[in-house]
Amino acid sequence: MSKQSSRKHAGNLERVDDIRWRIARTGAMRTEGLIFLGDELVESVRNDPCLDQVSNVAQLPGIVGPSMAMPDIHWGYGFPIGGVAAFDASSGIISPGGVGFDINCGVRLLRSDLELDAVRRSLGDLLNGLYARIPAGVGATRQDIRLDPKAMDAVLSQGARWCIRQGHGTERDLEFIEDRGCIEGARPDQVSPRARTRGAPQLGTLGSGNHFCEIGYVDEIYDETVARILGLELNTVTFLIHTGSRGLGYQVCDEFLPVMLEASRKYGIDLPDPQLCAAPLDSEQGRAYLGAMAAAANYAFANRQLITAQLRLCVEQLFQIGPASHRIELVYDVAHNIAKLEVHQVQGAQRRLCVHRKGATRAFPPGHPDLPAAYSQIGQPVLVPGDMGRYSFVLVGTQMGYQETFGSTCHGAGRLLSRMAAKKKAHKRDITAELKRQGIRLRAASRATVNEEMPEAYKDVSSVVDVVHRAGIAKKVARLKPIAVMKG
C-alpha cells in the first residue's frame, strides 16, 4: 500500500476510553483494530494511511485478538510502525512486513559509575573517541573485524554469544539481553551470499538514519524501588545504543518479499495490500523466513554487543581507568522489529502464537520465566528513546499489558514528518548549533542525516510514554536526558 492510497478507515476511528481507540470490524476484517492514543496524538494520525494499515492487518488469516498499534504509530511497509499482531501458530501466517527491513532494529541501555561532571568536562573528547571507534553512516564498515564464512555462520547462529566467546563482553551481558542475545531456530543456510557479503564488514557499525549512540543521565525517577533494582539513580551516566542488522537484515527482508508474494498466491491468502505478503507459519516458505529472520536478529544482537565493547574501551582509554572503575553495565537490550513464537493465554486457554512486533517492544510482566532472575519481581525493562533534543524513558512491563497486548508496548517517539518534510523544514537552519544551545553535543556523518532527524520530525516521546503508562500496558520508571549524540 503506498502512502498515497485512499484512507478508507480513517473515519471509523471510535473512542473506547481516554487512551484506547477502536476501528470496527468491517468488510474482510477478521477482527477489530485497537490503537492506543492520547487526545494530543489523535489528530496526528486521524487522516494518515497508517490507520488503513491497522485494518489491513486485521484481514490476515489466523489473527488472534485485535490488530493493534501503539501511540508511536506511523506509516510503514505493510504493517504500520508501532503495529502489533498475533497469529495462531497452526492456522496463522508470518509476514516480513510485520517485522520490517531492519530485522531486530533495537536498543540497549548501559549504566555506569562515571561521574556526570567528569563526563561533561570531557564530553567533546568522549564523543570524538566514540566516533573514531564506532563506524557510522550509510554503508559504514570496519576493517578490524571481517567475517569469513565460518565466522559468519557462528554469528548468525549464536548472536551475542559469539561476541562473548571472542572476548567482547562478559557472561553477565548475556543475562540482560532479550533471549540472552540469541534467538533459537536460526537458519544461516537461508541467508543468501549477497546478504552475507553486505554483512561481513558491517558488524560493530552504527549505520545511519535514526540509529544513534547517546550519552545521557538519569534526570527524573518515577519508581525508586524499580529504578534501584535496575541500577539507576539520579545523575547516573547512561549510554543508549540504537541500531540493528544493517545491510544483512535489509537484504534478507528484500529477498523474501517475492518469495512470500508467491506463497500468498500458492496458499490462497487474500492480500489487501501486496506489502502484507505472507506464508503459513507451518509452510516451507514460512519456516525458511523464520529461520532467516532469527539469523539476522542474531547478527543485530552481535552488532550491538560489539559496539558496547568499543564504547567500554573508549571510556577506559579516555579516562585512563580499568573496567572496575567505570562499571559500564548492561541494563537491558530489546528488539523492536521481530516476530516471536510465544505461548499466551487466550480466553482461558494456552495458545502458541507468532507475535509480530513492528516498531514495538516486548514488555513481559513480573514473574515471567523469560526474564533475568534479577528482574523477576519488577518485569521486563522497556527502553523508549525519544528524539535527540528531548528525553528517553525506561519503563517495565505489566500483567495488564501481557493480557491485553500479548506483552507489547511502544518503542519510540514515532515520526511526525517524513524525511523529505523534515529536510525542508530544517533548510537554512543549523540543527547542530540549536542542540548545542540546549546543552546537547552532536557528532554526525552528514548534515542531511541531522536535518532528517531534527527533533521536530518526531512526536514528543513524553506524550507517547504517558499513553502506555496510563493504559497500564507499561509502567514508567525513569527519564533520561541526552547530553551528547552520535549519528550516522
CB 134 within 8 A of CB 311: yes
To which residue does cell 505493510 refer? 78
φ, ψ (nearest 5 deg) of residue 80: -70, 150
Kindly list the distances between the CA atom of residue 197 and the CA atoms of 193, 260, 331, in Å, as whole numbers in the listed order. 6, 23, 32
Distance CA 276, CA 53 (A): 9
The helix or strand, by DSSP H or E, that contains position 372, with its residue range, turns out to be none
Could you tell me the three cell numbers for 6? 485512499
Task: Collect all residues with Cβ–Cβ distance below 8 Å to 78 and sequence separation of at least 6.
Answer: 1, 53, 56, 57, 95, 96, 97, 98, 273, 275, 276, 277
Distance CA 321, CA 380 (A): 32
Q: Is 243 helix (H, G, I), strand (E, B) or coil?
A: strand
Distance CA 486, CA 214 (A): 6
Distance CA 450, CA 488 (A): 9
* Nearest CA-CA partner of 164 in 309, 26, 44: 309
Query: In one letter, which amino acid is 281?
Result: L
Write a three-state SS string for 403-452.
HHHCCEECCCCCECCCHHHHHHHHCCCCHHHHHHHCCCEEEECCHHHHHH
Residue 208 is classified by DSSP as: S
Pairing of strands 237-243, 279-280: unpaired
Could you tell me the three cell numbers for 190? 537461508
Distance CA 167, CA 309 (A): 9
Could you tell me the three cell numbers for 211? 540509529
* Nearest CA-CA partner of 407 in 374, 383, 379, 385: 379
Question: Which one is catalytic: 74, 168, 336, 411?
Answer: 411
Residues in the chain: 488
CB 37 within 8 A of CB 467: yes
411 is catalytic: yes
CB 315 within 8 A of CB 350: no
For 79-136, strand residue ranges (E) read 81-88, 93-94, 106-111
Q: What angle do the packed helices 246-266 and 284-319 form, to 10 degrees?
A: 170
Q: Which residues are catalytic?
A: 411
